[in-house]
Structure 1
Amino acid sequence: MREATADTTSPGSLIAADRVEGTAVYNRQGDHLGAIKTVMIDKPSGKVAYAVMSFGGFLGIGEKYHPLPWSMLTYHRGQRGYVVDLDKAQLEGAPSYDAATPPDYDDPAWGRKVHDYYRVPPYWM
């Protein structure tokens, strides 16, 4: 995966999806949790539903992907990354998958499981 950083120099609040991919994710204590692998966009509404964060593993081996509801992320200019109110222990118990077994993002039960775990309202509401 290419090393990417979010564009902090351009004015405004919009960013291209390919600039989000690779951006670091930290918790409020400043611990590096992972990086954004991709974003999932709801086709009908155009809303970003999830930022899929890579977490754990070494050189891609054992890496897990955690879909984080987009509403949980806040961009922090000073850290040049996204910040979430989570710690590593919370992520270890969170809904996740590996590259060989991606979830069915269209399954409403799976989406509810993710949003219920993080206690945030679903993007479709």
Structure 2
Amino acid sequence: MRSLHTAPLVAAVLLAATLAANDTYAQGAPQAITERRTDVVQLASGYRASKLTGADVYNRNKDTIGTLDDLIVSPSGDRSTYAILSVGGFLGIGKHLVAVPFNDLQINNRRIVLPEATKKSLEALPEFKYAD
């Protein structure tokens, strides 16, 4: 009877000894954090994606050519950012989503400009669809 009560204790001690002897890491791999200084004052004056979403996008002629639907960071190694624009449609019906490089946009006082674009040129781009 006495050995039945000590079996769980022995198992726990063996498990603890095994874990202590091995190098264990969070999520199975060693973690390295590279320290990099950021000018937080300058960064704080930037534009938050949540504040830009839903904003109208204009061209050089001040024509409304679409709406900023989202920002997506590419999963590729370069981590490029793309603006997902909603163009065409009426009241959300028939809208066409397109992806344009974020660097092509000009943002000044929360006004978003894609200088050379037109509604027609954006509607001619391949349609973007969110992955499920």
Q: TM-score, normalised by structure 1?
A: 0.60
Establish whether residue 91 from structure 1 lines up as the match of residue 91 from structure 2. Answer: no
Q: Deviations over 1:35-71 (max 9, x none)?
A: 1111002357685521101111111110111111111
Unaligned 5+ segments in structure 2 are 1-42
Count of residues in correspondence between the two structures: 89
Aligned partner of 1:55 in structure 2 is 87
Distance in 2 of aligned mates of 1:75 and 1:87: 17
Report percent identity of matched pairs. 31
Q: Considering only aligned residues, what root-mean-square deviation do their CA atoms show, in Å?
A: 2.5
Aligned positions of 1:20-99 closer than 5 A: 20-42=52-74, 47=79, 49-77=81-109, 80-84=110-114, 85-97=116-128
Larger radius of gyration: 2
Q: TM-score, normalised by structure 2?
A: 0.57
Task: Give 1:16's aligned amino acid.
Answer: R
Unaligned 5+ segments in structure 1 are 1-10, 105-125
